[in-house]
Amino acid sequence: MSRFRSRARAAAAVALAAALAVGCSSGGSSSAPAAATGTQDSVDAALKAGGEITYWSWTPSAKDQVAAFQKEYPNVKVNYVNAGTNKEEYTKLQNAIKAGSGAPDVAQIEYYALPQFALTDSLADLNQYGFGSFEKDYSASTWAQVKNGNGLYGLPQDSGPMALFYNKEVFDKNGIAVPKTWAEYIDAAKKLHAADPTKYITSDTGDPGFVLSMIWQAGGRPFSVDGRNVKVDFADPGVKKWTAMWDQLIQGKLLAPVKEWSDDWFRALGDGTISSLVTGAWMPGNFISSVPGGAGKWAVAPMPTYDGKPVTAENGGSTQSVVKQSKNPALAAAFVRWLNHGNGVQPFIKSGGFPSTTADLTSPAFVDEAVPYFGGQKINQVLTSASKDVAPGWTYLPYQTYANSVFSDTAGKAYVNATGLDAGLAAWQQAIVDYGNQQGFTVSAG
């Protein structure tokens, strides 16, 4: 027993030392906005000195990227860890931050989850390394999402401007033209399902990320954040515009009752049961790797709009951030810079990722690539132009991951019982308001 105890004590001592080290490093990166800008010198020096860092990510290209990085900088050892996909990783990251040790140096974080970690002072402000000057190199919609107040909490990796992916074969067979407006989309949904009851225009079983992106496109801005003051308004006219439209699909039972990303769903994409998807530009890689049955049948078109004028929204996409617990934040920052502003971008694109760097979004090699899976269509022409049409001015909640976790308890019920999205969103709003007020925000309902 005594052996165990001394071991526990030793472990506790290590933890304490780590906590002290964190204390020291965070002293240097004070979050006072004015003092935060610096130069890349310390980053270059850290890269030269070498060292060891840990990187959490679930992106498929991470392994190749880490290998390429280590080849380029043999004196840096990167421990790549897949700590779980999105919310599983956030839970673990949150736990490690709460425990005061065990967090990685660099973590992949989706844009929607970033404010939560930025606000709790868990991430390093990259302005101190002079990364603020990279702004012009990224699409405006992604850059806006890695900033929080004056702080810069990551460099954008991918982006997900939304587009319409559709099964051309099914559309053609049933005489359906590619819808340009949402009204046409609903007509297409009815026509398709009437012609062939086994086919559905799309599937949606209630995904908070999708819902928010759709509201974003419709012009709704349900969240506004000013420090500790948060306003939540799901009665915003933009929100109503979307719910009125989408409710028609739900109430009309025109959505395939298949859970996204389940094995059923992948099968349904392959056999035409689900004949279109409105989703982020990162989707093609998933089609190619996971829906082999759909090869040659799928195509890409701009996202339908309410008035026929092009406008879209971001869906998904992530950034790499330096965690404040890092003992070598400058080296961690160097790795982030290499990943998303250096040689790491190409392996990412090669694995099917959709970049956020303007140089790649405009490079002819990328834009004009004919993709065999999509019947040789130059899909990136559609997708890159979508990235220019993202509606500006969107804000996520400072505790979006929590909000998303209770979506199914509230708004999700609207999908099961077909009780109307407005009522569901109102219940979600209530849960969001209650939680925020409990956690020290001043949240008001709009």
Is the C-alpha dihedral spanning 309, 310, 316, 318 positive or negative? negative
Q: How far is the CB of 81 from other proteins (least distance, A)?
A: 5
- Report d(CA 205, CA 284) in Å as an integer: 21
Burial of 60 (0-12, 13-18, 19+ CB in 10 A): middle
Q: Which tokens is 229 given?
A: 């003051």
For the chain, the first-to-last Cα distance in angstroms comes to 59
Q: How far is the CB of 255 from other proteins (least distance, A)?
A: 13
Q: How far is the CB of 177 from other proteins (least distance, A)?
A: 28
Q: How far is the CB of 106 from other proteins (least distance, A)?
A: 14
Nearer to other proteins, 43 or 62 (CB): 62
- 131 lies in the site for other proteins, by CB under 8 A: no
Q: How many helices (H) and strands (E) does the chain have?
A: 20, 15
Choose the stretch contacting other proteins; rule: CB under 8 A; options: 23-31, 331-339, 384-392, 403-411.
403-411
Q: How far is the CB of 303 from other proteins (least distance, A)?
A: 17
Burial of 432 (0-12, 13-18, 19+ CB in 10 A): buried
- Report d(CA 276, CA 167) in Å as an integer: 6
Nearer to other proteins, 61 or 357 (CB): 61
Are 137 and 341 spatial neighbours (Cβ–Cβ below 8 Å)?
A: yes
- 228 lies in the site for other proteins, by CB under 8 A: yes
Are 313 and 213 spatial neighbours (Cβ–Cβ below 8 Å)?
A: yes
Q: How far is the CB of 129 from other proteins (least distance, A)?
A: 26
Task: Mark 296-315 with x for binding to other proteins (rule: CB under 8 A) and - for no binding.
Answer: --------------------
- 101 lies in the site for other proteins, by CB under 8 A: yes
Sequence letter at residue 222: P
Q: Which tokens is 184 given?
A: 């046409």
Q: Which residues 181-220 are close enough to bind other proteins by CB under 8 A? A: 205-206
Contacting residue, 25, 26, 40, 120, with other proteins by CB under 8 A: 120
Nearer to other proteins, 198 or 362 (CB): 198
Secondary structure of residue 81 in the 3-state scheme: strand
- 288 lies in the site for other proteins, by CB under 8 A: no
Q: Which residues 334-353 are close enough to bind other proteins by CB under 8 A? A: 353
Choose the stretch contacting other proteins; rule: CB under 8 A; options: 286-294, 299-307, 337-345, 376-384.
286-294
Are 323 and 154 spatial neighbours (Cβ–Cβ below 8 Å)?
A: no
Are 220 and 201 spatial neighbours (Cβ–Cβ below 8 Å)?
A: no
Query: What letter would DSSP give residue 293?
Result: G
Residues touching other proteins, count (CB under 8 A) = 79
Contacting residue, 140, 178, 183, 406, with other proteins by CB under 8 A: 406
Q: Which residues 16-75 are close enough to bind other proteins by CB under 8 A? A: 58-61
- 251 lies in the site for other proteins, by CB under 8 A: no
Contacting residue, 179, 304, 355, 398, with other proteins by CB under 8 A: 398
